Structure 1
Amino acid sequence: MAETLGYDILLVDDDGEIRRLVSKLLREDGHRVTSVGSAVEMREAIARCTPDLVLLDVMLPGTDGLTLCRELRASSSLPIIMLTAKGDDVDRIVGLEMGADDYLAKPFHPRELLARIRAVLRRARPSEGGGAKTGREIRFAGWCLDTARRELTDPRGVVIDLSTGEYDLLLTFLETPHRVLSRELLLDATRNRDAEPFDRAIDVQVSRLRRKLETAGEVIKTVRGAGYLFVPDVERT
C-alpha cells in the first residue's frame, strides 16, 4: 500500500508526456505536484511556494538541469533528484557535484522513483516522535552537528549549509569515527540503495563535504583501496 506523505513536489521536465505520467503517479501516492517544462517556469513556481522536493531533468531547453541544480543549491538545501538520460555517468557525477541528493536514469520503474523520493525526503526531515536522539549535539574539532535541527555550525558559530546527502554522510562518519568505512557502506548509508560497481558517487560526496569542512584541517582521510576514515575525536552531548 502506498504511504501517504502529502509532500509538495516540483517536477521539471520539458517532455509533456513524462510530466503527465509522473504527476499522475505522484498524486496517486498522496503527493501534491506542480509540473513545469523550463527554467523560467521552475523559478516562478519556487517563488510562489517552496516545494519539499524537486525532480529535475538534466536535458532542458535553454538553461539545463545541471545549471539549475547548482543555482538551487547555492541558495538552499532543497532536496533534489536529478533525472538523467540512459544512466549517463558524466551527468550523474556532475549532478552530484552540483549538489543533487540522488539521481535516476530514464526510463525508470515507477516503484523505484517513489522509493528514491521517500528515501530522500526521510533523510531531509528530522525524525518525529521524540526519542533519545532529539536535541543531540555531536561535536568535533570545534564544530557542532545538531541532529534535531540537522544543522552544522563551525567554530565561529556560522551555520554551514548541507544537502541531505552531505548531512547523512557526515552523520555516518560521526557515528563511526577512527574506523575505515568502505565506499559501499557509505553509499548504502547516504543513498539507501545498493552500490553499483565502480560508482564514483561517494567520492563526489566526500569531496563536497571536505570542501565545506576545509577549515577544520584533515577531517576525512582517504585510505587507499579501502575507503575513508573520519580523523577527529567525537563528543556527544
Structure 2
Amino acid sequence: MLLVEDEDGYADELGEYLQNHGLTSTRISRLDRLCDTVQQIAPRVVALDQFVHGVDALVLLPQLRAVFAGGIVLLTGNSDQTDRVVGLELGADDFIVKTQPPREILARLRAVIRRSAAMPAPDIAAPAQPAESEDGPRWRIDLERRALFAPDGTPVHLTSTEFELLAFLSPRIGRPASRAELYDAILRRAPTGPEDRAIDNLVSRVRAALAPFLHAHNPIRSMRGIGYVFVGLDVATDQS
C-alpha cells in the first residue's frame, strides 16, 4: 500500500496499525512524487490524504487514475458531501474520514483491495479516446452553430455566455478550472471582489438548463477553494 500523508503523527499511527494487521505501507508526504512512486512500487491501493501541504489532492485524481488501475482511497478530515461526490466521480474508490477508528479504515482498505483485484485491469498505457458511447446516442456540442443537443436530438436552450461556459469546460473533463480562469475565459474580465458571483450564477443557470435531461446528475461540480470541475456528459463536439 502507498500512504500519501503529510501529518507525521497520523501517518505513523495509521502505518503502525496497518503493519500490525498485515498491511504493509510505503509513505510519501508530497504530491509531486505521487504518480512516479505509484509506477515504481505498483501498490495494490493508494491511501491519499485529501489535503497535502495545503494542496487539494482531488485535482490529481485524473492523472493518478490514468497511470494506476488499483484502488484509490481518499483520507480526509473534511466531511463535506460535495467533495466526497467529486472524489468518487474523478476516480476514487472510497472516501474515508480520518476520525473513523483504525479498524474500520483497515476494513475499508481491504475491501477496496478485494474489489480492485476482482476487476479486469484496464489498458492504462493508451490515452482514453472519445469513442462513441456504447449506450447509444451522445450529447452533442455544435461549435459552429453554438448549439447543444441532448442525446435524443432535442436542442437545449442556452444563452451565448452559458454555451461558452459549457464549451470551455467540456474538453477539460476531470480538470478543475479556477474561478479566476473562468472569469478570464468566459466573461473576459477579472472578478470585482468577493461579492462578485457572476460565474457562480452562470454555472447555476447551466445546471438548471441541463437538469431536465440528467435525472439528478450534476455535471459541473463545485470544488471548495478552487472553482469548478466538469465531470462529464458523454459529449461529442461537432466543429463542422
TM-score, normalised on structure 2?
Answer: 0.50
How many residue pairs are counted as aligned between the two chains? Answer: 138
1:140-155 alignment runs, 5 A limit: 150=120
- Once residues 43 and 223 of structure 1 are traced to their aligned partners in structure 2, the CA distance between those partners, rounded to angstroms, is 33
1:181-220 alignment runs, 5 A limit: 214-217=133-136
- Once residues 30 and 45 of structure 1 are traced to their aligned partners in structure 2, the CA distance between those partners, rounded to angstroms, is 21
Aligned twin of 1:55: 47
- Once residues 76 and 28 of structure 1 are traced to their aligned partners in structure 2, the CA distance between those partners, rounded to angstroms, is 26
* Deviations 1:17-65, CA, capped at 9 Å, x for gaps: 1110110011011122111111124344324311110000111126431
Pairing 1:23–2:1 present: no
Matched residue of 2:2: which SS?
Answer: strand
* Deviations 1:72-100, CA, capped at 9 Å, x for gaps: 11223221001122312122111111100
Pairing 1:95–2:80 present: no
Q: Please provide the CA RMSD for this pair.
A: 3.0
Shift of 1:13: 1.1
- Once residues 212 and 107 of structure 1 are traced to their aligned partners in structure 2, the CA distance between those partners, rounded to angstroms, is 42
- Once residues 131 and 17 of structure 2 are traced to their aligned partners in structure 1, the CA distance between those partners, rounded to angstroms, is 37
- Once residues 3 and 64 of structure 2 are traced to their aligned partners in structure 1, the CA distance between those partners, rounded to angstroms, is 14
- Once residues 79 and 213 of structure 1 are traced to their aligned partners in structure 2, the CA distance between those partners, rounded to angstroms, is 27
Relative contact order, CA 8 A, sep 6+: which one is greater? Answer: 2
1:79-94 alignment runs, 5 A limit: 79-94=71-86
- Once residues 26 and 66 of structure 1 are traced to their aligned partners in structure 2, the CA distance between those partners, rounded to angstroms, is 24
- Once residues 108 and 213 of structure 1 are traced to their aligned partners in structure 2, the CA distance between those partners, rounded to angstroms, is 42
- Once residues 223 and 63 of structure 1 are traced to their aligned partners in structure 2, the CA distance between those partners, rounded to angstroms, is 31
Q: Which runs of 5+ in 1 are unaligned?
A: 1-8, 127-148, 153-158, 162-210, 226-237
Q: 1:82 to 1:213 in 2, by over 3 A?
A: farther
Percent of aligned positions with the same letter in both sequences? 33
1:20 partner letter: D
2:45 partner letter: L
2:106 alignment partner, one of 114, 133, 136: 114
